[in-house]
């Protein structure tokens, strides 16, 4: 059994995201005065009294509003409640008890889960105003006064949450492979995750930019555990006009930082664009195992050799990522989607591969014998030995006489020889060149 799950729910603009951010100790959930900013479920791990738990922030529930996005936001909140062990129902004391609170409470009560009523925006939690008593009408027990933005009354609320946690189980080491699904807006990232999971875990809409937050979703195939991170579509910086999208882009890059594997989703119809190269480049620079996923392959006109021709064009446009496998899929029909798991596991293992120093130097010495190291003005590069110092990504240190003699092209040659002998498909390889002075007698 995993960590307990706590969902924060309520109507829009009652301070759910402020509470979420305070509890996890960092600005993970978008906080903005615009109603409906938090659209999908946001997950983060935090702890109280030594007990770790997963916190979910949700979009505001608007029972009376039936537009497409709002309806899906409500469904996401319902899914969060289904997953939760404890529900924090947040209301706003400044607004008082409003009809939307009553309607939301009816939805929450159907969950049959422990509900803690959080009355936010109280200036003095030690002596809350008499207005707090009207919330007893909801029939959810005693309202707990807090100020999420100032951190007042949070401890008492968390103590109440703690009391409703299920009995603690022995912790298992988290060996899940974290997979970030990244790409431009509207290339099918959310559709791909929904197809993989077999349910609508992520909002899917034709409106670009629907997914504004990075969302973690756990999934298991056999004995293999995965965490899929859906991210907001990443646009060119010049296209990011509002504050909300700036936070979303930052979060998408943060998702790459904490991922083990990146699925770089591109639109088959439009091919590799300048923005695709920047997105892929970020994953490459961070040393992440990567798979280039060409989506919407089902709508492409095909003839003999179309797939290989397209693959060559991908590698031509992403010349620095020729190590990454290319998968041609259709998130809509499910074509080849099931093969992604095998690829994800494969590139993850390649990213974690470690080579013994002896085997590595056998390959380096053979490479030197075939192509001599470069020289400059009578000075020739001497390579003494190499060793692998880390994984994720594989990093090698090469000890030489003069580091400035190591030309980029020769380093690339050595990389190709290492890949030829040991694979490392799907992962970047990092090199560090260090000078080692010859010992004098």
Identify the DSSP state of 129: -
Q: Which of 330, 351, 372 is the last residue of a domain?
A: 351
Report pLDDT for 165. Answer: 92
Residues 346 and 349: their CA atoms lie apart, in Å, by 5
- For residues 137 and 192, state if they share a domain: no
Find the CATH number of the domain harbouring 376: 3.30.300.20
* Rounded average pLDDT over 11-28: 83
Report pLDDT for 246. Answer: 42
Q: Which of 113, 133, 163 is the last residue of a domain?
A: 163
Identify the DSSP state of 352: T
Report pLDDT for 209. Answer: 58
Residue with the bigger pLDDT between 265 and 69: it is 265
- In this structure, the number of other CB atoms found within 10 A of the CB of residue 192 comes to 27
Report pLDDT for 28. Answer: 46
- Residue 35 pLDDT grade (very low, low, confident, very high; cuts 50, 70, 90): low
Report pLDDT for 63. Answer: 74
- For residues 336 and 361, state if they share a domain: no
CA nearest 114: which of 22, 18, 5? Answer: 5
Whether residue 26 has pLDDT greater than 60: no
- For residues 202 and 347, state if they share a domain: yes
- For residues 389 and 420, state if they share a domain: yes
- For residues 250 and 345, state if they share a domain: yes
Task: Classify residue 302: in a domain, yes or no.
Answer: yes
- Which distant-in-sequence residues (6+ apart) come within 8 Å of 425 by Cβ? 323, 325, 346, 347, 350, 419
What percent of the chain shows pLDDT beyond 90?
52
Whether residue 223 has pLDDT greater than 90: no
Task: Classify residue 265: in a domain, yes or no.
Answer: yes
CA nearest 101: which of 156, 60, 66, 152? Answer: 60
**Which structural domain range is residue 244 located in?**
177-351
Tallying the residues shown for the chain, one arrives at: 441
Q: Which of 104, 139, 163 is the last residue of a domain?
A: 163
Residues 216 and 194: their CA atoms lie apart, in Å, by 13
Report pLDDT for 243. Answer: 41
Task: Classify residue 278: in a domain, yes or no.
Answer: yes
Task: Classify residue 441: in a domain, yes or no.
Answer: no
CA nearest 264: which of 184, 335, 337, 357? Answer: 184
Report pLDDT for 190. Answer: 85
- For residues 221 and 158, state if they share a domain: no
Residues 416 and 430: their CA atoms lie apart, in Å, by 12
Whether residue 215 has pLDDT greater than 70: no
- For residues 78 and 146, state if they share a domain: yes
Kind and range of the H or E run holding 412: helix 408-422
Q: Please write the tens of the pLDDT for every residue from 308-347.
A: 999 999 999 999 999 999 999 999 999 999 999 999 999 9
- For residues 238 and 310, state if they share a domain: yes
Residue 336, beta-bridge partner list: none
- For residues 156 and 190, state if they share a domain: no
- For residues 193 and 327, state if they share a domain: yes
- Residue 207 pLDDT grade (very low, low, confident, very high; cuts 50, 70, 90): low
Q: Positive or negative CA dihedral for 325, 328, 333, 336?
A: negative
Q: Please write the tens of the pLDDT for every residue from 225-236.
A: 898 887 765 555
Highest mean pLDDT among 21-30, 315-324, 431-440: 315-324
Residues 392 and 349: their CA atoms lie apart, in Å, by 9
Report pLDDT for 196. Answer: 85
Task: Classify residue 170: in a domain, yes or no.
Answer: no
- In this structure, the number of other CB atoms found within 10 A of the CB of residue 379 comes to 12
- Looking at the structure of the chain, the number of domains it has is 3
- For residues 99 and 194, state if they share a domain: no
Whether residue 439 has pLDDT greater than 60: no
Q: Please write the tens of the pLDDT for every residue from 168-201.
A: 755 445 688 999 999 888 898 888 988 888 765 5
What percent of the chain shows pLDDT beyond 70?
83
Whether residue 38 has pLDDT greater than 50: no
Kind and range of the H or E run holding 163: helix 154-163
Task: Classify residue 172: in a domain, yes or no.
Answer: no
CA dihedral 372, 378, 384, 388 (to 10 degrees): -70
């Amino acid at each position: 059994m995993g960590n307990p799950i706590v969902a924060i729910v309520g109507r829009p603009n009652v301070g759910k995201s402020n509470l979420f951010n305070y509890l996890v100790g960092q600005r993970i959930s978008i906080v903005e005065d615009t109603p409906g900013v938090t659209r999908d479920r946001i997950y983060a791990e935090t702890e109280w009294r030594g007990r770790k738990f997963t916190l979910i922030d949700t979009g505001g529930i608007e029972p009376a509003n039936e537009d497409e996005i709002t309806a899906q936001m409500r469904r996401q909140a319902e899914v969060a409640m289904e997953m939760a062990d404890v529900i924090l129902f947040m209301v706003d004391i400044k607004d008082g008890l409003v009809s939307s609170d009553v309607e939301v409470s009816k939805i929450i009560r159907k969950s049959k889960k422990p509900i803690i009523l959080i009355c936010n925006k109280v200036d003095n939690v030690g002596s809350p105003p008499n207005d707090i008593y009207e919330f007893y009408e909801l029939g959810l027990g005693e309202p707990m006064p807090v100020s999420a933005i100032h951190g007042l009354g949070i401890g008492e609320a968390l103590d109440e949450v703690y009391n409703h946690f299920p009995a603690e189980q022995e912790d298992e080491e988290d060996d899940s492979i974290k997979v970030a699904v990244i790409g431009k807006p509207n290339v099918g990232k959310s559709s791909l995750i929904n197809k993989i999971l077999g349910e609508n875990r992520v909002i899917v809409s034709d409106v670009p930019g629907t997914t504004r937050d990075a969302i973690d979703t756990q999934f298991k195939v056999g004995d293999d555990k995965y965490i899929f991170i859906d991210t907001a579509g990443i646009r060119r910086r010049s296209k990011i006009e509002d504050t909300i999208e700036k936070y979303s882009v930052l979060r998408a890059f943060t998702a790459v930082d904490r991922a083990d594997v990146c699925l770089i989703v591109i639109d088959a119809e439009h091919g590799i664009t300048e923005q695709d190269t920047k997105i892929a480049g970020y994953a490459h620079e961070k040393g992440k195992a990567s798979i280039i996923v060409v989506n919407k392959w089902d709508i492409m006109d095909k003839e003999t050799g179309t797939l290989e021709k397209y693959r060559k064009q991908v590698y031509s446009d992403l010349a620095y990522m020729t190590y990454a496998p290319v998968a041609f899929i259709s998130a809509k029909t499910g074509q080849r989607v099931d093969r992604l798991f095998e690829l994800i596991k494969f590139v993850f293992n390649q990213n974690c591969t470690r080579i013994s120093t002896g085997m590595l130097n056998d390959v380096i010495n053979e490479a030197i014998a075939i192509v001599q190291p470069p020289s400059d003005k009578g000075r020739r590069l001497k390579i003494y030995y190499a060793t692998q110092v880390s994984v994720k990504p594989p990093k090698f240190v090469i000890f030489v006489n003069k580091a400035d003699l190591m030309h980029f092209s020769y380093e690339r040659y050595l990389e190709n020889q290492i890949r030829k002998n040991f694979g490392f498909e799907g992962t970047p390889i990092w090199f560090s060149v260090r000078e080692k002075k010859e010992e004098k007698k």
